Structure 1
């Protein structure tokens, strides 16, 4: 499982906790939002591989 999917799964778990625990709803929603932000950050990072001749390079694109 990639990092983005793991973060989305964690966000979903916190949303479910928010529904099941109305007394702490806001706390669980805040946690879900944090995990959604992490998922968005993970989806922005893309590895790009360029091969040519005898050299190859790998860089991360924000």
Structure 2
């Protein structure tokens, strides 16, 4: 399981706790939000490599390459 998926599972667990523990609902929702933010950070970690188009006719620009970490 990758980091993003693990964070999403943890966020879901806190959302479920919020439903079953109304007395501490806000606390569990805050925790769920923290884990969702971590999941977003994990999914944004990528390396982008780009090459410049030299402008000559008939040449196709190179596409950027994304690699998930």
Normalising by structure 2, we get a TM-score of 0.67
**Gap regions ≥5 residues in structure 1:** 50-59
Who wins on radius of gyration, i.e. which is larger? 2
Deviation of 1:47 after TM superposition, in Å, equals: 4.7
**Gap regions ≥5 residues in structure 2:** 50-66
Q: Deviations over 1:3-39 (max 9, x none)?
A: 0000000000000000000000000000000000000
Structure 1 runs (4+) greater than 6 angstroms displaced: none
RMSD: 2.2
Normalising by structure 1, we get a TM-score of 0.75
- The structure that is strand-richer by fraction is 1
Kindly report which structure 2 residues correspond to 1:1-62, keeping only aligned pairs within 5 A, or say none. 1-47=1-47
- The structure that is helix-richer by fraction is 1
